[in-house]
Amino acid sequence: MASVDELYAAILKYVTEGPSAMKQNEAALQEMLKGQGMLLKLQQIALRRDIGPIVRQQAIVQAKNNTQLQWKSRAKTSEEDLVQLRQNVFLFIDEPDEVVARNNQMMLAKAARVDFPNRWPDLLDTIMGHIQVNVQARLASPLPDEAVLLRSRRSLGLLNAVLKEFVSMRSPIGTQICTKASAKVYPFLAPLVEQLTTLLNTSLTPATINQPSTVYDVEITRLSWKCWSKMMLWAWGRTKKLSPEEEQAFRDFFSASSSTVQQMWNYRMGAVQVAGSSPDAVTAQCLELLTKLVRGLGKSFRKMQTVAASRFVVLPGSTDLVMWYWSKVAETAQAGEELITGKSLPGFERHVYLLFFTIESSLVPYPVPLVIQGMAIFKDSLSQWSPKKKEDSMDADQHVETLSQSMVTDAVSLLITRYIPLKPSDLERWEVDPEEFLNAEDKENDQWEFDIRPCAERVLMALALQYPDYVTPLLQQLFQGIISSPPTDLNGILQREAIYCALGRCAGRMKGTINLDEWLPILESEARNTNSEYRLLKRRIAWLLGKWHHDDSRPLAVHVKVWEVLLAVLTDRSAGSDSAVRLAAVIALRDCVENNDFDIESFHPFLEQFLANLYPVISESETVESKRRVFKTMNSIVGAAGPRIVPLLQPVAAPLPALWTEADTEYLLKQEILIFVKDLVEASKEHSGVLHPLVVMLIQQGMAPGARAQLDIDSLGLWEAAIRNCPSLQPVPGQQGLLDLLPPLVETLGSDMDAQANSNHLLESYYLIDCPLILQLCSQQLLSAYATAHQQALPTSIKDLTESLELLIQLSGSALAWAEAIHSSGLFASLLKYALLSKGSVSVLCDHFYLFSRMVMQDPDVFVQLVASAAPALGQTPEEAFNNLMDVWWRNFDSMAESRHRKMTAMSMANLTTTAQSQVMDRLATEISNVWLDVLGEIKEAEADDPDNPPLHTYWNDGSEPPHYWMRGTENTLEEDRRRDLWIKDPVQTIKLTKYIGEKLKITEAKTGKAAFDQAFTDKVDPTVLKQLQEALAT
């Protein structure tokens, strides 16, 4: 066990020696930390202020990281150490180092999760005691003491960290802990927050924002609000029916939050104006904290809305708060872009702001996150203010707010004229990198909570949904106002683009109002305009057509003119287009093709042109993301075209090898190529043979060691599609075919346990095409691979293996094709050993007997010989092995649940009797007869007289359709027919059991002689059983 000095030396060595020794030093440190009492020693090192800060920081970080495991382990941390640890946590109350203080808070939070309330009942009281002493000292002194302010901040930080940990506990125990914590801290926090907010209202003036004490005041007030908000939001989320006391508590919290957020917004605006664009460090920090306080209060409102919007809107003053937020959105709209995005900031600061605009900027009057917050709070209230909500309200006492028509139309006009149009900064981003601009714009579902324009679009959509009677006529009026005359300048183009955006966002409602057929000529004219500024409109036109047809609320067949417009936009290489415009056409094309009312007949004349013109977009795209978008569109087109793609297979596939090579290690792009070729194969089915050389090359390279980890799933998907849709395995001279992939597949079966299931299923597909050919080419290697796999596989994999082998036997045509190889490979010995000695899953064991049944039905003499040959490997004589096998087979018969399997077992027993083996004949009158009677009693069959129907009607099988598990997801492939055909022609499905047993008994009697047969069966069987059997066989 290391001493404190040794631990200090290890940490010092870790943080000071160079990168070359870091890994070794870290390992030595972690090994040392496994000893007893390390948490306390780490904490003691962190408490020392006479050593370098980097060592102290590393010590407390390691303590925090090890708290969760070591705090509750008495082998690592004794009770005496825990007492000291708990006391020492509060010695950091005046810690000046932010890293040390922050990690101490997290360490305490992790410890509190373990200890509170049972082993550390006074934890919250102690924290609140420190807060009370220091905050009261601050309140009592007109001249702030920085030491008091630091201790206030640190103690509030401790409480915030602990409460954050408590509310994150999603369990019944966590609920109990939070309930106890809430009961303790709420009476303390509510008046504390009020006192600190009042203090801040007094001390915060434009003249004091550059004073360090003001920064502390803002920080401790913000921390007190965070603590109070955490507990109130936790209670809000779990409370459905409020008691009068709870209702009042939430009202008090909401009222205080509402007034504070408005006060702090106003203080902040004044401070920004005083500070200017280049404030000193203290002023900048004060503004940052004020912004965080305003945003934190807004987050509380958003959380309350998200959890229970219906309760939020009936809180007293909620309507006033929401409308105040909207007034700030309207106020922001009148400000220049530089007051929102920081365009007037010095170069570096603006660069940082634009890169990280999700972090609120303290240097602009209207930071993006605050504006978005105001929009979101307004948007989330609209569902509770809709006229329909008011009509549906059953509670006469419930007052449901609704917006006036003028309020709605003003809001829509504000959004369309101010927030939705592209801004100069948007145009600048577009000009710098059109492709990146388009990709960013298309991430609309992710961006709306972080960017103003997408958020404004969501507000518009919410208004259109809740107030359709006001919004729809207004949008139609705006549309009619611009459609009659083309725009003449950039502002006109931007305003038209914004209106097109609004129409696309509200496409579901506007389809019944605006006649697209009349609008399309205008759109086509705009799409063909070569003016460079018209590219802004062209992108939006393509997007609009995609939204208009992809919206499912009111399906609309794609007009032929739409394909013409999209083709014009896609092929435009004039000054009025760029990569963003063409990529927009690519995305819109996919949306139109995936339309529920898509008509391939109207699209077919454009099929070749679209596919031919999509490849140049791939070539000109610089990012993998853009190239993938094009491939996804091509996938949709091929999937929709189906067999119509066949004449175009070769020209469509021709560019792919070069694109694959160019992709190099861009595995995401290679995945798209694999998926596209798979879609081509599935669309062309029996005509996909022309793609096989490409398919083989892609699979070989996709499954190569360097690429396999990234491409194996899609390579296997392509392989599966190709083999399932392959009509023949016969090789084409001079070309690679799917048969060339068989050797590595066989090798994978025996060497890669993780890929065993995929290998099995692929091999089954090969067998279904031409099993005799497969066995002729590689029976020894194949069955040796099965033997290796069977000996190493898990039970679930063994089930797959036996099912695959059963299919191989069924399709082989003759036992001569597999008998020698299954013996010499050791596979049969492995199967027999499992059947005789396994103590595992009964289901998997039964799968072995189904496989044996197939072997017996094909050639019982070969099966008997295989048992005899495998017996020595089990240390048994052939007679012992066969007897033991028959015993286990009989014992597990009742575990065979499926009628098909039980009938197959009965048939195999009948065929086994034809060998006249003594071990079989000895059981003929007992176990075997009982199997037959059981199965005959369970199933009902009748031979059909009509040659157009199946030869046997199996009442027990509920028709002749194969079950889902048999088809293995092969629907809409050639393999579907192969599997169905094999199922239908299976002797189990086509031969009546009574007829089969009767024929086999005649063969057995002829082979043994009547006297021996009677002695083994007729004379020995129970008369009742014999009579039942004779009656059954006579039917």
**615 — pLDDT class (breaks 50, 70, 90):** very high
SS3 970: coil
**Alpha helical stretches, state H, 733-826:** 742-751, 756-792, 795-811, 819-824
Section 739-760 average pLDDT: 92
Percent over 70 (pLDDT), the chain: 94
Q: Residue 814: which region, alpha, beta or left (left: phi > 0; alpha: psi -120 to 50)?
A: beta
**340 — pLDDT class (breaks 50, 70, 90):** confident
Q: Does position 70 have pLDDT exceeding 90, yes or no? A: yes
Q: What is the pLDDT of residue 680?
A: 98
SS3 942: strand
Q: Does position 874 have pLDDT exceeding 80, yes or no? A: yes
Asked whether 374 and 451 are in contact (CB, 8 A), the reply is: no
**392 — pLDDT class (breaks 50, 70, 90):** low
Write the pLDDT tens digit of every residue in 467-488: 999 999 999 999 999 998 899 8
Write the pLDDT tens digit of every residue in 22-31: 889 899 999 9
Of 193, 196, 203, residue with least CA distance to 231: 193
Q: What is the Cα–Cα distance from 377 to 262, expressed in whole angstroms?
A: 14
Which segment of 204-208, 227-231, 521-525, 964-968 scores lowest on mean pLDDT?
204-208
Q: What is the Cα–Cα distance from 384 to 388, expressed in whole angstroms?
A: 9
**278 — pLDDT class (breaks 50, 70, 90):** confident
Question: Which residue type does 988 have?
Answer: V
- Counting DSSP H helices and E strands in the chain, the numbers are 55, 2
Q: How many CB atoms lie within 10 A of CB 734?
A: 6
Q: What is the pLDDT of residue 631?
A: 98
Q: What is the pLDDT of residue 252?
A: 95
Assign 3-state DSSP to the chain and report helix, strand, coil percentages, each to 5: 75, 0, 25
Q: Which residue has the tokens 């006297």?
A: 1011
Q: Does position 360 have pLDDT exceeding 90, yes or no? A: no
Section 981-989 average pLDDT: 93
456 class by beta-carbon count within 10 Å (0-12 exposed, 13-18 middle, 19+ buried):
buried
Average pLDDT, the chain: 91
Q: What is the pLDDT of residue 887?
A: 95
Q: What is the pLDDT of residue 394?
A: 46
Cis, bond preceding 744 (omega within 30 deg of 0): no
| Better-predicted residue by pLDDT, 82 or 338 | 82
Q: Which residue has the tokens 């809430």?
A: 182
Q: What is the pLDDT of residue 902?
A: 96
Which segment of 115-129, 171-185, 334-348 scores lowest on mean pLDDT?
334-348
How far is the first Cα of the chain from the last one, in angstroms, to the nearest whole number? 86
Q: Does position 562 have pLDDT exceeding 90, yes or no? A: yes
SS3 665: coil
Q: How many CB atoms lie within 10 A of CB 96?
A: 11
Q: What is the pLDDT of residue 396?
A: 42
680 CA to centre of own chain: 26
Q: Which helix (H) or strand (E) holds 952?
A: strand 952-954
Write the pLDDT tens digit of every residue in 616-646: 999 999 999 999 999 999 999 999 999 999 9
What sign results for the dihedral spanned by CA atoms 553, 558, 559, 563?
positive
Q: What b/e readout covers 30-44, taking b as 16+ CB neighbours within 10 angstroms?
A: eebbeebbbbbbbbb
Q: Which residue has the tokens 């802990």?
A: 177
SS3 953: strand
Q: What is the pLDDT of residue 364?
A: 86
Question: Which residue type does 158 have?
Answer: L
Section 535-562 average pLDDT: 85
Q: What is the pLDDT of residue 978?
A: 97
Q: Measure Cα distances from 201 to 229, 261, 262, 756, 1017 in Å.
A: 19, 12, 12, 70, 106
Q: What is the pLDDT of residue 948?
A: 63
C-alpha count within 13 angstroms, C-beta hemisphere, residue 76:
16
For the record, the structure tokens of 385 come out as 């203010």
Q: What is the Cα–Cα distance from 347 to 250, expressed in whole angstroms?
A: 45
β-strand pairing of 952-954 with 941-943: antiparallel
- Range of 335-339, 496-500, 1029-1033 with top mean pLDDT: 496-500
Section 248-276 average pLDDT: 93
Section 694-714 average pLDDT: 96
> Largest alpha-carbon pair distance within the chain?
122
Asked whether 881 and 867 are in contact (CB, 8 A), the reply is: yes
Q: Does position 606 have pLDDT exceeding 80, yes or no? A: yes
For the record, the structure tokens of 966 come out as 């048999």
Q: Does position 953 have pLDDT exceeding 80, yes or no? A: no
Write the pLDDT tens digit of every residue in 1001-1016: 999 999 999 999 999 9
Q: What is the pLDDT of residue 344?
A: 44
Percent over 90 (pLDDT), the chain: 77
For the record, the structure tokens of 207 come out as 């003249």
Q: What is the pLDDT of residue 553?
A: 56
Question: Which residue type does 12 have?
Answer: L
Q: Residue 599: which region, alpha, beta or left (left: phi > 0; alpha: psi -120 to 50)?
A: beta
Q: Does position 1024 have pLDDT exceeding 50, yes or no? A: yes
**954 — pLDDT class (breaks 50, 70, 90):** confident
Q: Which residue has the tokens 């369309």?
A: 416
Of 909, 877, 907, residue with least CA distance to 890: 909
For residue 209, report the phi and psi dihedrals to the nearest 5 degrees.
Answer: -70, -15
Q: What is the pLDDT of residue 1022?
A: 85
For the record, the structure tokens of 557 come out as 């067949």
Q: What is the pLDDT of residue 450?
A: 86
**Alpha helical stretches, state H, 53-203:** 53-70, 79-89, 98-115, 123-140, 146-167, 172-203
Asked whether 683 and 714 are in contact (CB, 8 A), the reply is: no
Asked whether 398 and 329 are in contact (CB, 8 A), the reply is: no
Q: Does position 175 have pLDDT exceeding 50, yes or no? A: yes
For residue 738, report the phi and psi dihedrals to the nearest 5 degrees.
Answer: -65, -20
Q: What is the Cα–Cα distance from 127 to 90, expressed in whole angstroms?
A: 8
Q: What is the pLDDT of residue 302?
A: 96
What pTM did the predictor assign?
0.86
**982 — pLDDT class (breaks 50, 70, 90):** very high
Q: What is the pLDDT of residue 511?
A: 87
What sign results for the dihedral spanned by CA atoms 716, 720, 723, 725?
negative
C-alpha count within 13 angstroms, C-beta hemisphere, residue 286:
30
Section 518-547 average pLDDT: 95
Q: What is the pLDDT of residue 358?
A: 35
Q: What is the pLDDT of residue 352?
A: 41
Question: Which residue type does 572 have?
Answer: D
